[in-house]
Copies of this chain bind each other. A is one copy, B any other.
Amino acid sequence: MSQLLPSALVNAIDEFGRLPGVGDRTAERYAYFLLRADPRTSQKLAETISKLHSGVKFCPKTFALIDADEDVSILYSDPSRDKSIVAVVEEPLDIIALERTGQFNGTYHVLGGAISPIDGVGPEQLHIPELIERLTNDNVQEVIIATNASVEGESTALFLQRHILEAGIDIKLTRLARGIPVGVDLEYAGQITLTHALEGRRAF
């Protein structure tokens, strides 16, 4: 079928199809949209994509994504951030989600994933040694484990808890509350969510 379309279009559709969750139809839609739009739209997109890798690096301390010309994440270097509290997240974009709440003034530590035997990700592939180092060097008082509420996130949280205990680090270890999300009716909340909500119930 593809020889029916110009090869430049087929190539773009193929490459768009590599993006996560993008099937043939969506890739066609993207490519065709660009083709109909002002050529500057495609040029701009192509440019930003090609500059992505060279413009971004990982913070050597927190493993957040930072500008290639920065030394360390501003969320770490900023003197107004409380270095004694560290929120441990799976991925760099999780930081954005937490920052959007405006309720956290500590620092972050990105693991770079979650433990997932199926995907071949073990603890040794995560930035756990660097976390342990920070806990001892930065005089950290509390670690908030903010991994996802998935099986992998849970395993990772439990692993970290055990690992920090075994390392003999005396620290306050907390994790995000699990319960009913805002706007969800009880009947749709799901059994496990409700179990968590019951277990974690609080006095008024």
Nearest chain B CB to A140 CB, angstrom units? 21
Q: Does A144 contact B (CB under 8 A)?
A: no
Q: Does residue A182 face the partner (Cβ distance < 8 Å to B)?
A: no
A18-65 residues at the B interface, CB under 8 angstroms = 18-21, 26, 28-35, 37, 39, 41-57, 65
Give complex CA distance A99, B2 in Å.
11
Could you list which residues of chain A lie within 8 angstroms of chain B, going by C-beta atoms? 1, 3-9, 11-12, 14-16, 18-21, 26, 28-35, 37, 39, 41-57, 65-68, 70, 74-75, 91-93, 95-96, 99-100
Contact B52 A9 (CB under 8 A): yes
Give the number of copies in the complex.
Answer: 2
Q: Is the CB of A54 within 8 A of B6?
A: no
Q: Chain B residues near A5: list those with CB within 8 A.
A: 65, 96
Complexed CA–CA distance, A85 and B173 (Å): 74
Instruction: Please indicate which of the listed interface residues A4, A26, A68 has the most CB atoms of chain B within 10 Å of its own CB.
Output: A4
Contacts of A66 in B (CB 8 A): 6
Given contacts A5-B96, A6-B55, 6 further A-B contacts (CB under 8 A): A8-B68, A11-B48, A15-B41, A18-B41, A28-B93, A35-B52
Q: Which of B50, B67, B68 contacts A46 (CB 8 A)?
A: B50
